[in-house]
Homo-oligomer: A and B are copies of this chain.
Amino acid sequence: MRDVSKLAGVSTMTVSRVLADPSIVAPDTRERVMRAVDQLGYVPDLVAGSLSSRRTNFVGLILPTLTNSNFADTAQGLAEALGQSYQLLIGYTLYRAGEEERLVRSLLARRPQGIVVAGTLHTASTRRMLLAAGIPVVEIWDAPGAPLDRAVGFSNFEAGRAAARHLLSLGHRRIVAIGSEADGDRRDARGEARLQGFAAVLREEGVETGLILRHGPAPVSYAHGAAAMKLLLRDMPDVEGVFAVSDGSAFGALMECRRQGIDVPGRISLMGFGDFEVGRECEPAISTIRVDAKGIGMKTGQLLRDLIDGRDAGAPQSIDLGIEVVPRGTTALPCRASVSNQAMQGSEP
Binding site for B on A (CB under 8 A): 41, 43-48, 50-51, 56, 65-67, 69, 72-73, 75-76, 79, 84, 87-90, 92, 102, 105-106, 108-111, 128-129, 132, 221-223, 226, 251-252, 255-256, 258-259, 277-278, 280-283
Residues on the B chain within 8 Å of A111, using CB: 45-47
**Contact across chains for A281 and B226 when beta carbons are under 8 A apart:** yes
**Contact across chains for B87 and A102 when beta carbons are under 8 A apart:** no
**Contact across chains for A47 and B43 when beta carbons are under 8 A apart:** no
Residues on the B chain within 8 Å of A65, using CB: 76
CB distance from A72 to the nearest CB of B (A): 5
**Contact across chains for B88 and A90 when beta carbons are under 8 A apart:** yes
- Taken together as a complex, chains A and B put the C-alpha atoms of A46 and B105 apart, in Å, by 11
**Contact across chains for A105 and B281 when beta carbons are under 8 A apart:** no
- Taken together as a complex, chains A and B put the C-alpha atoms of A251 and B48 apart, in Å, by 48
Nearest 7 CB-CB pairs, A to B?
A222-B281, A46-B109, A255-B283, A258-B283, A66-B72, A67-B72, A47-B51
> Which B residue's beta carbon lies closest to that of A50?
B47
> Which B residue's beta carbon lies closest to that of A46?
B109
**Contact across chains for B47 and A56 when beta carbons are under 8 A apart:** yes
Which single member of B92, B105, B108 contacts A79 (CB below 8 Å)?
A: B92
A41-B132 contact in complex given A66-B75, A89-B89, A110-B87, C-beta closer than 8 Å = yes
**Contact across chains for A106 and B89 when beta carbons are under 8 A apart:** no
**Contact across chains for B281 and A43 when beta carbons are under 8 A apart:** no
